[in-house]
Amino acid sequence: MNIMDDDKNQKAPVIDWKTQKELNIPLALQGQADPQTTQFLEMIVKLINEGKIALHNPDTLINHAVYDKLPPEKQEKVEMEAFNLLSAIRDIKDLYDAGYKDTFQILNIVERLKLTKERLEEFGGDLFII
């Protein structure tokens, strides 16, 4: 690996494109994925494909039957968290569409999404459609 100066005189490693391409490929999962995580992933993809989750509209994640009964300060928190959850869902969809549905990265994001959703729903019930 060579070191070369970029336009701001910072040192940057020079990696050939073949190596860079290999580094960009998500790690394959070693062993079996947790069935619950895989089911959650498939449910998310199904909701996206059915148009129930719009990838750029956090409001589509919110279960309004529960959300509408919350006080305004809790509604604000749910709205903010819906934005964060949707960002993770977009990452999941990108990896899924690229054919990386059985990789450590996508399953890690799915598991993190699931745990975050569960943590948020402890205070308000079934707040999200996922």
What is the Cα–Cα distance from 92 to 95, expressed in whole angstroms? 5
Lowest mean pLDDT among 2-11, 57-66, 89-98: 2-11
Q: Give the Cβ contact number of residue 118 at 10 Å.
A: 10
pLDDT digits (tens, 9 = 90+) for 21-30: 776 776 665 6
What is the Cα–Cα distance from 112 to 100, expressed in whole angstroms? 17
